[in-house]
Structure formats: structure tokens, C-alpha cells
A = this chain, B = another copy of it.
Amino acid sequence: MDYVSDDFAPSNILSCNDDSEDHPRNLIPELCRQFYANGWVTGTGGGISIKYNDQIFIAPSGVQKERIQPDDLFVQNLNGEDVIIPKPEKKLSKSQCTPIFMCSFTERNAGAVIHVHSQEVVKLCLLNPENEVKITGLEMIKGIYNEKKGKFYDNDEELIIPIIENSKYEKDLVDTFKIALKKYPSTSAVLVRNHGMYVWGSNWKTAKTQLECYEYLFKIAIFKKIHHV
């Protein structure tokens, strides 16, 4: 295990070439700023992890997500062993969502996993005491990937997303998360009641665009529930 090298200090990242825009050390801080602006990761909430070659890049825990720097990230391998960690003087700890992130990588072969403290998810679950949400008849369903069929949904198919109950500690969600993955082999997201959502995809682009589609669909679903239409 190594500490992050000076190559990934902010000053170097800023001068890196164009191709590296897609490197997780650049992408994760940028995406977190975008998610913060959408209200999805305020108050240190939420998290993100991206697989890059055989390395898993993970955002730190309990920090302002819109201020993450490239050298704040943790890197571990697929066995969960640390490869590179931030310099000790930064006093950072790895995201508490790490066990769930790893679960998505190993059980679903995800390329990226995002955790958001979405108000829409909390509101929708408040209106929906069942352990799943069903959505149908909206064009935006086409943006969601059916993991079982290996293709995006048609807009005349029914989307079913599991809801699991919240736990006292993030790590205690792993068991019910795994059960939801098995019971809902098509889903690319799991909602956590009173808490938020985990969403993943084969790469960061499909994870992010699905997150946006889910948020859109949930806003409409809340509107329908409230106004009985």
C-alpha cells in the first residue's frame, strides 16, 4: 500500500492532458460538485466509487462532497485491500458505503456506483409503504438499464425498484442490499427508506445518467401520488 504520490496533487492534475478528464481522480471531484448542486450530496451525505482498470477509487467519508480534491481519494483492489490512500495529515477515512459499493462491483460487475441522499427518494418512500416502487408509462424509463435482460427498458415496460429499510450503520445495509440484488435481478438501483439511493452502471456515464433518470421518474411518481393522477 502506498500513500498518494505528489503526481496527484491538485497542481499537477490541473495541468494534465485532455484524456485524463475521465480519470477517477478528476471525475469523482467533478461529479460530486455536480451532484451537490442538484442537492443530492449535501451535508457530507452520499458517496461515489469508480472502477478503473482493476482499481476501485472511493470518495472519503464525512467530508463536504463539493470540495473533494483529486488526492483525497482512496484506492483499493477488488479484494478490498488498500492500494493507495490519502496522506495521513489529511485525516480522511474511506466512505462508509464501501461495503455496498464493493457488493455492486462483485455481484453486478458494476463499473461505477453512486450513493445519494436524495430528497425525492425519501419523499417517494414516505408515500409508498410497500417494499418496492413500480413505475410505468413514461418515456424516461428508456434511460434505465435492465440488468437481467442486458438492455435498456422499453417505455411500455414496468420498472420495479426495491426499497430496503434503513439501518443504524451503513455497513449493516449489506445483507438486505444483497437480498434485494438477488430478488430483483433486473434492477440497477436500490432505495433505502428514510435515507437515499444506491445506483450503479457498467461505467460512470451509465451510473450518472440512470441516477438522473431515476430522479426524474421519482419526481413524476411523487406528483402522481399527491395529485391522484
Contact = CB atoms under 8 A, between A and B. Distances in A.
Interface string A169-201: 000000000000000000000001011100000
A82 interface: no
Interface string A89-127: 000000000000000000000000000010100110011
B143 A122 contact: no
Contacts of A83: none
A147 interface: no
Copy tally for this chain in the complex stands at 4
A194 B127 contact: no
Interface in A36-51: 39, 42-45
Given A139-B196, A194-B137, A117 B43 contact: no
A64 B205 contact: yes
Interface in A147-172: 154-156, 166, 168
Q: Is the interface of A mostly helix, strand, loop or mixed?
A: helix
A212 B166 contact: no
Give the bracket for the number of chain A residues in contact with chain B.
35 or more
Given A166-B139, A227-B226, A119 B219 contact: yes
A138 interface: yes
A3 interface: no
B213 A122 contact: no
Best-buried of A119, A194, A219 by chain B (most CB within 10 Å): A194
Contact of A139 (B137, B195, B208): B195
Interface in A190-229: 192, 194-196, 205, 208-210, 212-213, 215-216, 219-220, 223-224, 226-227, 229
Nearest to A219: B119
B224 A126 contact: yes
Given A126-B224, A224-B126, A210 B43 contact: yes
A147 to B, nearest CB: 17
Contact of A216 (B42, B138, B215): B42
